């Protein structure tokens, strides 16, 4: 039997090694707590069900994930360009080809300001770097899922963003079967509470656009609380970059235009199974 420690990278044998996790805690009963490395899920597994992932396999899988993310990001922005016919605009700027995601600082007037609150410190830093590459102004805070609703209102007052992203880890306890019982979710109740607090600050869905949720989150309840976009309609896994794809599309949609929901969702990991939302008009 392998010996494990906090921080080890592992996968579950019973799930055919489909997701790579980082060990976050080892309990005395030999059950180990896990957090997805590239998807926003938390899980618990017995030590005998885990296998360590070596550096070569880890790098191979991370490289594949990163390539897929880059393609989705580029496709998302290209779709927005086609929808609003910006080719002439870029020709005037001297770009002969479609713009890449690093050349958008002068596009569509001033993009929206993003407040992104995430429950994982490593994800928070990765998100901050991704926004920087996109040319977006972001205020990114690492706040545990259970504390987000307690701090979101004061942060909204301080930053006054156009876009709020509430993310972290989550999971649906499938053995309990009932997808409409909030007690069957690890962290969905906290996203719901945070959205309610955000709507107490700004009730208009167009003035403050909100994305909330993580892997397998209680989509219907989060939307009902007042989010514009949420995960996960079919209780599937979402990629760490999916909320940022949503934020990017919102930020670079022209004012007084509807945010292209179909284009956004088509460029996420699982499409409509993973991300859903409401038709929203960008007004700020």
Q: Are 44 and 86 members of one domain? A: no
152 vs 19, 94, 186, 195, 266, CA distance in Å? Answer: 31, 42, 20, 9, 29
Q: Are 26 and 123 members of one domain? A: no
Q: Is residue 3 part of a domain?
A: no
By residue range, what is the domain housing residue 44?
A: 9-53
Q: Are 201 and 229 members of one domain? A: yes
Q: Is residue 64 part of a domain?
A: no
Output the pLDDT for position 105: 44
Output the pLDDT for position 141: 97
Q: Are 268 and 186 members of one domain? A: yes
Output the pLDDT for position 92: 45
Output the pLDDT for position 230: 97
Q: Which residues pair with 178 in a beta bridge?
A: none
Structure-token pair, residue 114: 């993003």
Q: Are 136 and 233 members of one domain? A: yes
Give CA 196 to chain center in angstroms: 19
Output the pLDDT for position 78: 67
Output the pLDDT for position 86: 47
Structure-token pair, residue 108: 């569509």
Q: Are 76 and 37 members of one domain? A: no
Q: Residue-wise pLDDT tens for the chain (284 aa)?
A: 678 999 999 999 999 999 999 999 999 888 999 999 989 999 999 999 999 999 999 999 988 888 887 787 777 666 655 655 544 444 444 444 444 444 444 444 567 899 999 999 988 998 888 888 888 899 999 999 999 999 999 999 999 999 999 999 999 998 888 999 999 999 999 999 999 999 999 999 999 999 999 999 999 999 999 999 999 999 999 988 899 888 888 888 877 778 878 777 888 888 899 999 998 877 66
Q: Is residue 58 part of a domain?
A: no
Tell me how crowded residue 257 is: count the other CB atoms within 10 A of its CB.
Answer: 14
Q: Are 133 and 16 members of one domain? A: no
Q: By three-state DSSP, how is residue 225 classified? A: helix
Q: Is residue 59 part of a domain?
A: no
Taking CB atoms within 8 Å and a gap of at least 24, the contacts of 138-142 are 138/113, 138/114, 139/113, 139/114, 139/115, 140/116, 141/115, 141/116, 141/117, 142/118
User: For the domain that residue 18 is a member of, what is the CATH number?
Assistant: 2.30.30
Tell me how crowded residue 5 is: count the other CB atoms within 10 A of its CB.
Answer: 7
Total number of domains constituting the chain? 2
Q: Are 43 and 114 members of one domain? A: no
Supply the angle between the helices 145-159 and 188-201 in degrees, to the nearest 10: 20
Asked if omega into 190 is within 30° of 0 (cis), the reply is no
């Amino acid at each position: 039997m392998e010996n494990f420690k906090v921080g080890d990278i592992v996968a579950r044998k019973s799930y055919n090694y489909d997701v790579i996790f980082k060990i976050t805690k080892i309990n005395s009963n030999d059950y180990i707590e896990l957090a997805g490395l590239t998807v926003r899920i938390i899980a618990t597994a017995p030590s005998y069900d885990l296998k360590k992932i070596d550096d070569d396999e880890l790098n191979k899988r991370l490289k594949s994930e990163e390539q897929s993310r880059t393609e989705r990001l580029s496709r998302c922005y290209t779709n927005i360009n086609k929808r609003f016919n910006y080719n002439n605009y870029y020709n005037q700027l001297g770009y002969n080809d479609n713009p890449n995601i690093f050349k958008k600082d002068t596009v569509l007037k001033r993009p929206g300001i993003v407040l992104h609150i995430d429950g994982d410190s490593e994800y928070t830093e990765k998100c901050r770097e991704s926004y920087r590459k996109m040319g977006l102004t972001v205020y990114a805070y690492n706040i545990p899922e259970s504390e987000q609703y307690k701090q979101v209102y004061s942060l909204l007052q301080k930053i006054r963003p156009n876009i709020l992203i509430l993310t972290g880890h989550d999971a649906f306890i499938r053995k309990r079967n009932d997808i409409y019982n909030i007690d069957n979710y690890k962290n969905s109740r906290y996203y719901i509470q945070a959205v309610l607090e955000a709507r107490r600050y700004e009730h208009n869905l167009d003035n403050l656009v909100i994305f909330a949720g993580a892997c397998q989150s209680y989509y219907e309840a989060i939307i009902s609380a007042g989010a514009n976009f949420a995960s996960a309609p079919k209780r599937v896994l979402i990629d760490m970059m999916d909320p940022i794809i949503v934020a990017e599309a919102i930020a670079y949609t022209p004012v007084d235009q509807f945010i292209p929901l179909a284009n956004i969702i088509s460029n996420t990991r699982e499409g409509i199974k993973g991300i859903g939302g409401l038709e929203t008009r960008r007004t700020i």
